[in-house]
């Protein structure tokens, strides 16, 4: 846990951009202050992802989360971190209507959380939006390939770039996002060679999830990596711990202690004479 609030310099979006082709960027999602505190010393970037709709709130898709909720979680992650670059997702329904709508939403995120930038899903269709945000000094992390917010309308969570047309679309999206001023791009759920080719040809870092080891960085949903979210585990996830089982064991031990009157002990109570 990083308590070094006064001396640590936070990683900026320029630092992230400068890592193109260098030491790979280690990125995870974070939704809360305590989790941010544990992850911060080791991460280059913490993403307050709209995946929290599913992971925290138990919704079916990432679509059901409000801008206010993202701002609350974003502010919590900023309070729990001193080092990592923190980026907050613009949730579904808060940026797609017009560049002006996106600017209003992103401006609130920046002002009310203190995050270093926002992420939004889309490529060619979002180019004007990304340009308006970056012209207004709001750093944008792009997100191309499989787009969870649009998965429902595109027939489900499908790997992108399997045919020539799909491949070209993702390449066009990457070029549009970079051309509009994004400082980096998340590439999600594509065939490996496509993410590799994009990484080799664009000028900003790519951050892969279900993409390629060649990407300039990698990101996972933290609860997936820690075994805390077990509704389903996508193929691209590597489990680094099984904390769900640990939590259940601790809950069982606590319940047994309470039921058997082993907890609390007098040591946990107030106003108890010392000799007891």
In the set 50, 173, 197, 223, which binds ligand KIV (CB under 6 A)? 50
Residue nearest to ligand KIV (CB): 49
Nearest CA-CA partner of 103 in 80, 128, 124: 128
SS3 content of the chain, % helix, strand, coil (to 5): 45, 15, 45
* Residue 249 beta carbon to ligand KIV: minimum distance, rounded to whole angstroms: 28
Nearer to ligand KIV, 238 or 261 (CB): 238
Interface mask toward ligand KIV for 54-73; x: CB under 6 A: --------x-----------
Nearest CA-CA partner of 234 in 87, 51, 92: 51
Whether residue 188 lies in the annotated active site? yes
* H or E element at residue 209: strand 206-209
Q: Tokens in use for 240?
A: 């680094």
In the set 186, 187, 194, 198, which binds ligand KIV (CB under 6 A)? 186
209 with 222: CB under 8 angstroms?
no
In the set 11, 78, 85, 209, which binds ligand KIV (CB under 6 A)? 209
Q: Residue 117 pairs with which residues in a beta bridge?
A: 87
Nearer to ligand KIV, 25 or 258 (CB): 25
In the window 218-247, what residues touch ligand KIV (CB under 6 A)? 219, 221
Give the C-alpha separation, 30 to 156, whole Å: 25
Under the criterion CB under 6 A, does residue 140 sit at the interface with ligand KIV?
no
DSSP letters spanning 232-264 = ---TT------HHHHHHHHHHHHHHHHHTT-SS
* Residue 227 beta carbon to ligand KIV: minimum distance, rounded to whole angstroms: 17
The contacts of residue 10 (CB under 8 Å, 6+ apart) are 81, 82, 83, 84, 85, 116
Nearer to ligand KIV, 53 or 127 (CB): 53
In the window 19-38, what residues touch ligand KIV (CB under 6 A)? 29
In the window 70-109, what residues touch ligand KIV (CB under 6 A)? 89
Interaction site with ligand KIV (CB under 6 A): 29, 47, 49-51, 62, 89, 186, 188, 209, 219, 221
């Amino acid at each position: 846990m990083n308590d070094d609030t006064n001396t640590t310099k936070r990683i900026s979006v320029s630092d992230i951009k400068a890592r193109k082709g260098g030491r790979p960027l280690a990125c995870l999602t974070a939704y809360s202050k305590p989790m941010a505190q544990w992850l911060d010393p080791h991460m280059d970037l913490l993403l307050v992802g709209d995946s929290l709709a599913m992971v925290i709130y138990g919704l079916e898709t990432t679509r059901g989360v409000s801008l206010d909720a993202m701002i609350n979680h974003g502010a919590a992650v900023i309070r729990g971190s001193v080092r990592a670059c923190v980026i907050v997702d613009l949730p579904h329904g808060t940026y797609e209507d017009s560049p002006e709508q996106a600017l209003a939403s992103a401006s609130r995120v920046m002002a009310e959380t203190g995050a270093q930038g926002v992420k939004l899903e889309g490529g060619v269709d979002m180019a004007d939006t990304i340009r308006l945000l970056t012209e207004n000094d709001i750093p944008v992390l792009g997100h191309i390939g499989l787009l969870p917010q649009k998965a429902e309308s595109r027939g489900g969570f499908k790997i992108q770039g399997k045919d020539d047309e799909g491949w070209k679309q993702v390449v066009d999206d990457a070029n549009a996002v970079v051309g509009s001023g994004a400082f980096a791009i998340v590439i999600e759920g594509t065939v490996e060679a496509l993410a590799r080719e994009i990484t080799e040809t664009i000028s900003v870092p790519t951050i892969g999830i279900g993409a390629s080891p060649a990407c300039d960085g990698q990101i996972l949903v933290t609860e997936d990596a820690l075994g805390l979210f077990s509704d389903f585990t996508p193929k691209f996830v590597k489990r680094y711990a099984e904390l769900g089982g640990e939590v259940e064991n601790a809950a069982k031990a606590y319940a047994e202690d309470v039921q058997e009157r082993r907890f609390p002990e007098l040591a946990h109570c107030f106003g108890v004479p010392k000799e007891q």
